[in-house]
Structures are given as C-alpha cells and as structure tokens.
C-alpha cells in the first residue's frame, strides 16, 4: 500500500506506546520509515527493531517544540530521503492535569500547549513542502477531551491544546486542498499504552493500539483520498 513511499512518524521512541504499533503497521505495508523522537537513541532503537524485520527505517532525534531543531530536521530529511514524503503522522504528546484554573500553573499551561499544539504546528509547517510534492496526507492526534460534552475539569491545559490541534488540522485541510494535501485528526479515548496502564490500571475501557494504527494507515491511504478535515473519534 505504501511501497516506495516515505512516511514520517513522530513520537515513536517509547516502548509500549502507540507510536510503536503505528510504525510497525506502516512498515508491514511497505513504507520507508522516518522515525522521530526527542531522544536520538530511542529513535534509532525503534528504527533498528524495524530494520531487523527486513523493513526500511531511520531514526532522528529532535525537540519538536524547538523551531530551530525542527528546521534542522527538515533539512536532514531532505538530504537523506529526498524532497517528498507520502505521510506525516504526528504522535508527540503527554498528558498532565493542570488543576482548577484559579490555581493552575502557568508552566503546565505553557508546556501542554507547546507539547501538543506548538509541536504540531512547527512539524506540519516544516514538512508541508515535502508533502505537497507527493500529494501526501497528515494525521494529527487530538483527543476525546476536544469533543463536545467531554469532561475536562482540572485538565484545561490539555483540553485546550488538543482542541487547538483539531482546529489546526481543519485549517491545514482548508489551505492545502489546492495543493493535494489532506489533513485529518484522531480523537481517541484512553489508549491501552504502557503509560496509561501504569496510571489507570487494567479495569478501564481502552482503545487498542492496533485500532489506532488501522485508523491512521487508512487515513493516509488511497482509499481515503476523498477524506480531509475530519476529526475521527475512537472509543
């Protein structure tokens, strides 16, 4: 399905998280993977694990909240992988409660916005030229917290950041339609990751990582060529 195409995935380094399964799904579909994590060693380890199964993968370290590092990453990707990518799947994130707004920390607010919304903006902006060259697809990660009626008390920073991601996705879809680039976002409930299991235990109803991977690969595929600007809930 993605044979001969380069796919860039962010947030893939930690074991037991969603990026691990999404990366494996794209590799199994023939994509050449560009794997990005804040820690270079983790990105390289994920790439090595995929390469050991006979698939093409290369890891890069980058703080995707830092504009200069993101620009440097885009230049490296051009040098090493050419001037086109088929898909960008941005999975960087991290949940934090911010507490009641009247008592919340400005540091937590700024960190959540930078981690979710800022990184999505910077990464998308940097790689749009490569996506345009291949009429590619973008998938961002919003959250159930961004959906109407969600319970978001004491998590305003996270909810606002994820709502911003959904709005950013719609803006990209509207602006890039003329360039043949599609953008969509997922709004999952809690995903069965190692981190979530450690915090919430195993008695919670989770979205399985494989379900997320199936949705992502579908949205990036030719079968979804008419789908853009959609926030897709997963529960």
pLDDT of 3 over the 90 cut: yes
- Whole-number pLDDT of residue 194: 85
Q: Sorting pLDDT into bands at 50, 70 and 90, what band is 204?
A: confident
User: At which residue do the structure tokens 């697809």 appear?
Assistant: 137
pLDDT, tens digit, 9 for 90 and up, residues 78-113: 999 999 999 999 999 899 999 999 999 999 999 999
Number of separate domains in the chain: 1
Mean pLDDT of 176-198: 95
Q: What is the DSSP letter of 27?
A: H
What pLDDT does 203 receive?
Answer: 85
**Residue 198, pLDDT score:** 86
Domain region containing 139 = 6-234
pLDDT at 138: 99
State whether residue 140 is helix, strand or coil.
strand
- When the pLDDT of each residue in the chain is averaged and rounded to a whole number, the result is 96
Nearest to 234 by CA among 209, 197, 199: 209
Confidence of residue 183 (pLDDT cuts 50, 70, 90): very high
Q: How far apart are CA 155 and CA 158, in angstroms?
A: 6
Confidence of residue 131 (pLDDT cuts 50, 70, 90): very high
Asked if the structure places residue 16 within a domain, the reply is yes
Return the pLDDT at 56. Answer: 98
Asked if the model's pLDDT at residue 49 lies above 90, the reply is: yes
* Per-residue pLDDT, 199: 83
Q: What is the 3-state secondary structure (H, E, C) of 31-97?
A: CEEEEEECCHHHHHHHHHHHHCCCCCEEEEECCCCCHHHHHHHHHHHHHHHCCCCCEEEECCCCCCC
- Does 226 map to a domain? yes
pLDDT at 189 over 90: yes
| CATH value at residue 217 | 3.40.50.720
Residue 18: pLDDT band by 50, 70, 90 thresholds?
A: very high
> CA 39 to CA 13: how far, in whole Å?
7
Query: Per-residue confidence at 7, pLDDT binned at 50, 70, 90?
Result: very high
b/e per residue 47-69 (b: at least 16 CB within 10 A): bebbbeeebebbbbbbbbbbeeb
Strands of the sheet with 182-188, listed across from one edge: 57-61, 32-37, 6-10, 87-90, 137-141, 182-188, 231-234
Q: How far apart are CA 22 and CA 56, in angstroms?
A: 15
First to last CA, the chain: 26
Report yes or no on 1 lying in a domain. no
């Amino acid at each position: 399905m993605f044979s001969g195409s380069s796919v860039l995935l962010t947030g893939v380094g930690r074991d037991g998280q969603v990026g691990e399964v999404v990366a494996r799904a794209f590799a199994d579909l023939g994509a050449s993977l560009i794997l990005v994590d804040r820690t270079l060693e983790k990105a390289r380890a994920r790439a090595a694990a995929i390469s050991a199964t006979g698939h093409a993968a290369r890891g890069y370290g980058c703080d995707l909240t830092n504009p200069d590092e993101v620009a440097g990453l885009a230049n490296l990707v051009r040098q090493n992988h050419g001037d086109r990518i088929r898909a960008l799947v941005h999975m960087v994130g991290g949940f934090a409660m911010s507490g009641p707004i009247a008592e919340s920390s400005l540091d937590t607010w700024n960190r959540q916005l930078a981690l979710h919304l800022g990184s999505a903006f910077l990464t998308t902006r940097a790689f749009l030229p490569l996506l345009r060259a291949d009429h590619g697809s973008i998938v961002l990660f919003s959250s159930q917290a961004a959906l109407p009626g969600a319970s978001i008390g004491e998590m305003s920073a996270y909810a606002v950041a994820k709502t911003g991601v959904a709005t950013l996705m719609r803006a990209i879809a509207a602006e890039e339609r003329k360039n043949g680039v599609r953008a969509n976002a997922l709004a999952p409930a809690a995903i069965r990751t190692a981190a979530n299991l450690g915090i919430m235990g195993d008695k919670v109803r989770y979205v399985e990582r494989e379900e997320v991977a199936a949705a992502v690969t579908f949205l990036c595929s030719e079968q979804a060529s008419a789908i853009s600007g959609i926030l897709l809930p997963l529960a």
